[in-house]
Structure 1
Amino acid sequence: MSSLPIPTRVVLLTGPSGSGKSSLAARTGLPVLRLDDFYKEAGDPTLPLVPGTTDTDWDSPLSWDADAAVAAIAELCATGRTAVPVYDIATSSLVGREALDIERTPLFVAEGIFAADIVSRCQELGLLADALCLRGRPSTTFRRRLLRDLREGRKSVPVLLRRGWRLMRTERAIVARQTALGAHPCAKGEALGRLAAAAAGRHRAPTAPATKTPAATVSVPGPRAAEQTREPA
């Protein structure tokens, strides 16, 4: 008797900007969906502003297309392939689309600062393996974020500095909000441990904001992740 195919599930990885989501996702060896590519474009009339300024609030979930992100996750879980936007943060514009192919890998990571906002929707659709929120020292996050944004020329220096100070002051509130939405707050070591458990099929998706668990230091095990390709759609 042939066994049923293992369904594909997603681990949502969130945390404040600069918390190390992308680097941790890359360390797992799992396919990765970049949720920050689902930002709205400059000029969209629904983009929110930072109160009291003319700056677009790119840290508000209203600046992001949650419906498109959930649709991409659902298609990856169902077929192993989807077309994803390619977004240029420096110009706040969509510059193309690519095919993301994860084959039939049973687990992939979707990472971005708004991942917690779709925890309940992914759970209701039966797609969620786990939801994690990286947390650390706000001063360390500020330094890492600023160096990255300057290196990549993401925005003008004044905008980056204003945003950086604002995010550092509110970082603990950001983590608290993401936790309330269902993402488990943890450092990188524990996050890798929970990813390992999800890859081995030993971890259930949370049904409520998770409680604190002991830190883990194991790396992601299990069957070798299928090769991930991104090519013009």
Structure 2
Amino acid sequence: MPESHEPFARVMLIGGASGSGKSRIAERSGLPVLRLDDYYREGDDPVLPRLESGEVDWDHPGSWHRDRAIDALEELARTGRTSAPVYDISRSASAGSHEVTLDGARCFVAEGVFVGEVVAEARRRGILADAIVVHRSRWVTMGLRFARDLREHRKPPAFLLKRGIILARREPAIVARLTDAGCRPMRIRAAMRMLAQRG
């Protein structure tokens, strides 16, 4: 149940396809950041959704702890702090936790690929400031994502290439789904300008 009193702060949700620039926008905003992708399930979790090939479908919302993420958003908005996991994508496992604090900020950013799963609930709980989906050419996104994932050793190169092609094909649908969930489509530069005004 949502709290009846006004929250201390509200959240700006940033969604988009993997590699679309969400993290960069969040980091440059000057606002506190909660990384929602850190709420992925452990790689040995038996409820993880699978592709027909048997591989884990990391782009399915079922691969993610939605309830834990929304509770963390509310705790941060109402108390000014929360303990968040640190997820190691290369190992598909949690690598500990860290404290996220607002330090007096009245707005904070939460970004991740599954933002669309929490927009309605964040609004219902009275903690939503705004929700946007950032987008650009899907082929630019694909190239930048592949370079990032190789650099960070996230998964084997063959897996990254295969997943990158799949995500490029899916990207228009991902943006449409986030828009339907209540996110406003926005180009990266416009998003940075908007967040700078809040920071």
Structure 1 and Structure 2 fold alike (TM over 0.5): yes
Q: Whole-Å Cα distance in 1 between the matches of residues 114 and 132 of structure 2?
A: 12
Contact 1:12 1:130 in 2 (8 A): yes
TM-score, with length taken from structure 2: 0.93
Contact 1:25 1:111 in 2 (8 A): yes
Amino acid in structure 1 at the alignment position of 2:18: S
* Count of residues in Structure 1 that have an aligned counterpart in Structure 2: 194
- 2:188 corresponds to: 188
| 1:9 equivalent in alignment to 2:18 | no
Amino acid in structure 2 at the alignment position of 1:43: D
- 1:27 corresponds to: 28
Q: Whole-Å Cα distance in 2 between the matches of residues 24 and 126 of structure 1?
A: 24
Amino acid in structure 2 at the alignment position of 1:59: D
RMSD: 1.4
Contact 2:7 2:78 in 1 (8 A): no
- 1:144 corresponds to: 144
Whichever of the two has the greater Rg, that structure is 1
- 1:43 corresponds to: 44
| 1:92 equivalent in alignment to 2:104 | no
Amino acid in structure 1 at the alignment position of 2:79: T
Deviation at 1:10, TM superposition (A): 0.2
Q: Deviations over 1:172-221 (max 9, x none)?
A: 011111111111111012223443xxxxxxxxxxxxxxxxxxxxxxxx13
- 1:66 corresponds to: 66
Deviation at 1:116, TM superposition (A): 1.4
SS at match of 1:43: coil
Q: Whole-Å Cα distance in 1 between the matches of residues 149 and 7 of structure 2?
A: 39
Q: Whole-Å Cα distance in 1 between the matches of residues 24 and 78 of structure 2?
A: 26
Change in Cα spacing, 1:153 to 1:104, as seen in structure 2 (3 Å) is same
Q: Which runs of 5+ in 2 are unaligned?
A: 1-5
Q: Whole-Å Cα distance in 2 between the matches of residues 91 and 26 of structure 1?
A: 24
SS at match of 1:221: helix
- 2:172 corresponds to: 172
- 2:53 corresponds to: 53
Contact 1:6 1:106 in 2 (8 A): no
Q: Whole-Å Cα distance in 2 between the matches of residues 181 and 221 of structure 1?
A: 25
SS at match of 2:197: coil
- 2:3 corresponds to: none
TM-score, with length taken from structure 1: 0.80
Contact 2:34 2:109 in 1 (8 A): yes
Contact 2:7 2:127 in 1 (8 A): no
Q: Which has the higher helix share?
A: 2
Higher relative contact order (CA 8 A, sep 6+): 2
- 1:230 corresponds to: none
Deviation at 1:97, TM superposition (A): 1.3
Structure 1 stretches (4+) deviating beyond 6 angstroms?
A: none
Deviation at 1:95, TM superposition (A): 1.3
Amino acid in structure 1 at the alignment position of 2:30: G
Amino acid in structure 1 at the alignment position of 2:43: A
Q: Which runs of 5+ in 1 are unaligned?
A: 196-219, 226-233
